[in-house]
Amino acid sequence: MSKLIITAAVTGGEPVSREMTPHVPCSPEEIVEETVRCWEAGASIVHLHAKEPGTGRPAPDPNPVLKQYIKMIRDRCDIIINATTGGGRRATAEKLDEMIRERCWLGQEMSSLNMGSVNSWVRPYEGTFMNQVPTIERWAGYMKEAGIKPELEIYDTGMINTAKILAEKGVLDEPLHIQFVMIGATGISPTPKGLLYCLDQIPNSWTWSVCALGRHELPMGAVAMTLGGHVRVGFEDNIYLKHGELAKSNAQLVERIVTVAKALNIEVATADESRRILGLRKA
């Protein structure tokens, strides 16, 4: 069995701000410190969104913020950096495309790439998160030019087929690395049966990870690691340590999943071991 790669999604993504939890890191210094603590706890990848200091809301101009995070993190530890392409959707399509192309050259080793459009999974379920196939192809091309590996975000099973089609076309280089984003509601249900079905659809050569929201984060992470997969934890997916108790840091969530892995006799990968598993070049 491969060693376990743990990703820490430390910034809370788009929705999690200080209005939801006082513990979400907002300033560059807080985010870097949180990243280092997660790395020390066992995370080998950090997934980043750009945040507005003080409030934790999405930064209006993400790229300079992400560039600052990446430089500061590089000065502190050797964790693999994964920068989002999912956030910052307030720009026009043309401006967003330009922003993503520029973002591929900020110095990260990986970037997320949503493999299709998905209806909102948050009540009242209004709106659609758009990622059309031509957009995916362009952004995959930008990543290939920059030498960074895409992490393919799978919100429903049809997106697995999209990944296969783009691999056959040569848009994506195999073996792919995918993440099953088990959002429930309008996407994949966070259940062992749902995960097993997804795994039946992918080649054995692909690497894969699971992130699940809220109370599903821990049990689905445990299921994933027993099946040879990898795990994402952090405030982007879950802000609670247990029912009614806010986690005080992302590192607590990393420590918890490491405890589960040790109980199952599953070794946790270092950053360099994760690079070898994923076929990354070190930035």
For residue 207, give every residue at least 6 positions away whose Cβ sits within 8 Å of its Cβ, in sequence order, or none.
Answer: 2, 5, 175, 176, 177, 178, 230, 277, 278
CATH number at residue 96: 3.20.20.70
User: Element (H or E) spanning 46, and its range?
Assistant: strand 45-48
User: Would 28 be classed as within a structural domain?
Assistant: yes
User: Would 179 be classed as within a structural domain?
Assistant: yes
Structure tokens at 181: 């984003």
Nearest CA to 250 out of 13, 88, 64, 2 is that of 13
User: Element (H or E) spanning 242, and its range?
Assistant: strand 240-242
pLDDT digit string, tens, across residues 162-214: 999 999 999 999 999 999 999 998 899 999 999 999 999 999 999 999 999 99
Q: What is the pLDDT of residue 115?
A: 97
User: Would 283 be classed as within a structural domain?
Assistant: no
19 class by beta-carbon count within 10 Å (0-12 exposed, 13-18 middle, 19+ buried): exposed
User: Element (H or E) spanning 223, and its range?
Assistant: helix 217-226
240 class by beta-carbon count within 10 Å (0-12 exposed, 13-18 middle, 19+ buried): middle
- Contact assessment for residue 150 and residue 113, using Cβ atoms and an 8 Å cutoff: yes
Domain with 245, as residue range(s), is 6-278
Structure tokens at 86: 């999912």
Q: What is the pLDDT of residue 145?
A: 97
Beta bridge partners of 128: 119
User: Would 1 be classed as within a structural domain?
Assistant: no
Query: Domain count of the chain?
Result: 1
pLDDT beneath 70: ranges in the chain = 1, 87-89
Structure tokens at 58: 């999405």
The separation between CA 64 and the C-alpha centre of its own chain, rounded to angstroms, equals 20
d(CA 183, CA 257): 19
